[in-house]
Amino acid sequence: MLLTVGWILLGFVGLTFGSDIAVRAARVIAKALGVPTLVVGLTVASVGTSIPEIATNVAVGFDTLSGAADASGIAVGNIVGSCMSQVTILLGLTGLARGLPFQSMRRDGGMLVLAMVLMTAASADGTVWRWEAAALILAYAVYLAVVYRSTQSEPPPQDTADASMDHPPMWPRVLQGLVGLAVVAYSASVVVDQGVALARAYSMPETLIGVYIGVGTGLPELALALGALFRNDEGMAIGNLLGSNITDPLLSFGAGALVHPVTVSMAALRLDYVFWFFATTVALLLLRTGKRLDRQESIVLSLTFVLYLIVRWETA
C-alpha cells in the first residue's frame, strides 16, 4: 500500500510541476498578445491548471480503450472532486488568505451553473457517450468565443504596449509548454494506474479514489490563485478558480469521454453530483452578497467540503 500511495503522491508532484511549467508559458504568451488578466484566468490559466484533470481523464479513456478494466469511477470522481474542492476549500483558503472579490457574476457564474447542468444531463442515463462528450466540448468552445468577443470592447492591459515593443520570441515558451504537457501526461497515467490498483486492493469505490485524486489535481489552481492574489492580481485569482469549474465539467470530462464512453453510477448521481450542486450554489450565493468573499464565508465553504468528505466516507 505504501508503495502505491507513494507513486500516487509522486504523480501529483509531476502533475503540479508539469502544469505549472505549461501555465507559465501560456500566461507569458497571453500577456504578449494583450489579453486581460481576468480573461487569462478564465481561459488560458484555467485550461492550463486543468491539464492534470484533462490528462487523468484522457488516461482513463485510453486505458479502458486498450482493454484494461473500466475505471470510469475515477474519471467521474476526478472531475467532481476537483470542482467540489475548488468551490469550497480552495476558494475558502484563498478567501481566508485575503478577502476575494468576484467579477462578471452574470456571465461566468451563469456559465459555471450551466456547465454543471450539462455534465449532469449527459450523465443522467448512466453513460456519457462520445456524441455527448463532443457536445460538452462544443459548449466550452462557444463559451470561449463569448469571452473572447467580450474582450474586444475592453481596454487593453497597461503593459500591452511594452510587451508589443519588446517582441520576445515565442518559440521558447511554446517548447516550455510542450515539455510541461509531456510531464503531465506521464504523471496522469501513473496516478490513474496506481489509483485503480489501490481501489482494487482495498475494495474502495473508484469514485471515492477519484474524488481524492480530484482534490490533488486541484492543487495547481490553489497555487496559482494564491500567487496571483498576493501579487494583487485579483482578476486572475478568481478567474482561475471559477474558470476551472467551467473547464473541468465541459472540456476535461468531455475529453476523457470522447476517447471512451464513461459509465456513471447511480450512487455518484445521487450523492456526489447533488453535493456538487449544493456546494456550488452556496459558493455563488456567498460571492453574490456584496460580491466579495470574506473570511467568515470562507470558513463556511471550507466546512462544506469537510462535511462532504465525511458523508462520502461513511457511505463508501
At residue 230, the pLDDT reads 67
Q: How far apart are CA 202 and CA 1, in angstroms?
A: 9
Q: How far apart are CA 192 and CA 247, in angstroms?
A: 20
**CA 43, 45, 51: angle at the middle one, nearest 5?**
100
What residues of the chain score a pLDDT lower than 50?
157, 159-165
Query: pLDDT digits over 122-141, tens only?
Result: 999 999 999 999 999 999 99
At residue 29, the pLDDT reads 66
At residue 161, the pLDDT reads 40
Say which residue the cell 486492493 belongs to: 201
Q: Give the CA count within 13 Å in the CB-facing half-sphere of 222.
A: 23
Which domains does the chain possess?
Answer: 2-314 (1.20.1420.30)
| DSSP class of 101 | E
DSSP for 95-150, please give it: HHHS-EE---IIIIIHHHHHHHHHHHHHHTTSEE-HHHHHHHHHHHHHHHHHHHHH
Query: pLDDT digits over 255-306, tens only?
Result: 999 999 999 999 899 999 999 999 998 888 887 765 667 778 888 888 888 8
At residue 165, the pLDDT reads 44
Q: How far apart are CA 8 and CA 5, in angstroms?
A: 5
Q: Give strand pairing partners of 262.
A: 128
At residue 162, the pLDDT reads 43
Which residues neighbour 112 within 8 Å (Cβ) at sequence distance 6 or greater?
Answer: 242, 245, 246, 280, 284
At residue 204, the pLDDT reads 73
